[in-house]
Structure 1
């Protein structure tokens, strides 16, 4: 059995449209998860209650 190695040209040809824009891979109507739709929020649980070591410095 021969392995079919995909070259970058083959990947690009398969995953771009005729204008050269990238498309998300899909199979049978199921697409990959869209990571751009997820908002990034940091420290949702503790927020600003995390102690900051630089705020305690007293430069008198």
Structure 2
């Protein structure tokens, strides 16, 4: 996603890579996240991956009726 946004900005503003680097690096030389009009790309690696737990027969099934007999 980051690469697509940068390529789009390069076409839109007719930037070279030097212009991108000057615009998106801070005074300490580290890269800043691309942002425009308050919308910022976030680090997708910061989202935790959660897997489904095995629930067996606890999963509700709408096609079976409870056995009340």
Normalised to the residue count of structure 2, the TM-score between the two structures is 0.45
Higher relative contact order (CA 8 A, sep 6+): 2
- Which 5+ residue runs of structure 2 have no aligned equivalent? 1-11, 53-69
TM superposition outliers: structure 1 runs of 4+ over 4 Å: none
Distance 2:14 2:38 in 1: 26
Normalised to the residue count of structure 1, the TM-score between the two structures is 0.50
Where is the helix percentage greater, Structure 1 or Structure 2?
A: 2
Aligned CA-pair RMSD: 2.5
